[in-house]
Structure 1
Amino acid sequence: MKKNWLALGTSALLLFTLAGCGNSDQKDTSDNSNNAKEEEKADQKEQDKELKEDKEKEKKDEDDGGALETKKFDVSMEQAVKDFQKNNPKAKLVEVSLSHSDVDDYHYRVYGVEGKDVYREKVNANTGRADNTFHMPMLTKDQNELPKETFTLDGVKSPKEAIKAAMTALIDKEGLKKDAKDVHVAEWELVKENGTVVYKMRIRHILREYHVTLDAQNLNVISTEKDLY
């Protein structure tokens, strides 16, 4: 009988020990699970924060960065082209454009051709520094996409004058006087088409985007296209 009680006591102790281990394992598992959940929450919180910052930055880029009509640059279009021609004396000008890739990161892109070679310089509009400069044989894609007519800046109005003319014409034509503060120039380019040097302006107004083409010498509007963006 004593042996039976001893055996029973031993069994009980074993069960108690196993139960304790089980509880400990469950506690460890629970702690690990809680830690994982906390880490997941922290990761999600960080992702939400980054997403919010990205959206705010994107909105600021659109609201401020795209408003070329409000910007003043230390380097003019004429200076950017002059530097390009100094660095590439054989290249004939086929395109100049100005846009931004960040709120304070504005660049002129100047393209030129010479025979079957294409030249390009990306010039910071504030520092004058030239980045992503290249000279290479023109590829078939370049032949199809690059403007084929060369030009000079003789008689060409300044981008500031062209921007003002394009915005005034667009606001009057589309009846946007009440919302004039929401009309912004996102980018422009200067090319030669059908024998005429033209400015092509991409202008945003709330959820609409307009493409205005002007004669670069007399600033008469040649065409206006409208779409959503």
Structure 2
Amino acid sequence: MNTGKDAIYSQPQQVGAFTFDQNVAEVFPDMIQRSVPGYSTIVDAIGQLCGRHAKDNSRIYDLGCSLGAVSLAASKYVQAQNSQIIAIDNSEAMAKRCELHVQAFKSTTPIKVICDDLQNVEIKNASCVVMNFTLQFIPPEQRKAIIEKIYAGLDQGGILILSEKLKHDTEQGNELLIDLHHEFKRRNGYSDLEISQKRTALEDVMRTDTFEQHQSRLTSAGFIDVIRWFTCFNFASMVAIKG
């Protein structure tokens, strides 16, 4: 599908809170590739992880699916019989474009797209649940309950794949990682104005945790192991296993 170049913050403006609206949906593939280091690697590996762990007659949930990159990657690798991918996003603009992508892809594994808040959706009979840069946009006080809900809906041996922008536990380390990330964005064509305005837009919307906070929350929910398999600057992806 045709997608545009991200120029949302290229002009001086009164910056409001970041939202996944129609403007973002139209440029999201460009935005995410130029903003998140290793994004293509992360998505493809998530597809592989889903392929390894999907069981016959089970569900794979893509929570906060945006335009469906993870769902489509999973469908490429999943060989389990009678399995289904359920893609959920609370942004109508994102969900509509995701549906178009799914229809164009013609996946052999059925993908059902739902526009709803993930907290309203029951998780059940799941072999894999994915939150690819989703939890960071959920209010911190709600995260524990969401992780516990996912754990309860996973089958034994099921996995939760969680990708997040992380906060380092020292101010010095955190500033270093932020600086490296900003330089990554500059090298991908973003101006200092765009970087600054985007940071302002995200300030009260995306609240990051340290890896240790994620690990503690996951193990408290009952996961027996948490493996951080990808890290670049302040971005990481981890797999939590239900015993």
Higher relative CO (Cα under 8 Å, sequence separation at least 6) belongs to 2
- Return the index of the structure with the highest Cα Rg: 1
- Fold match by TM threshold 0.5: no
TM, length-normalised to structure 1: 0.22
Give the strand-richer structure, 1 or 2.
1
TM, length-normalised to structure 2: 0.21
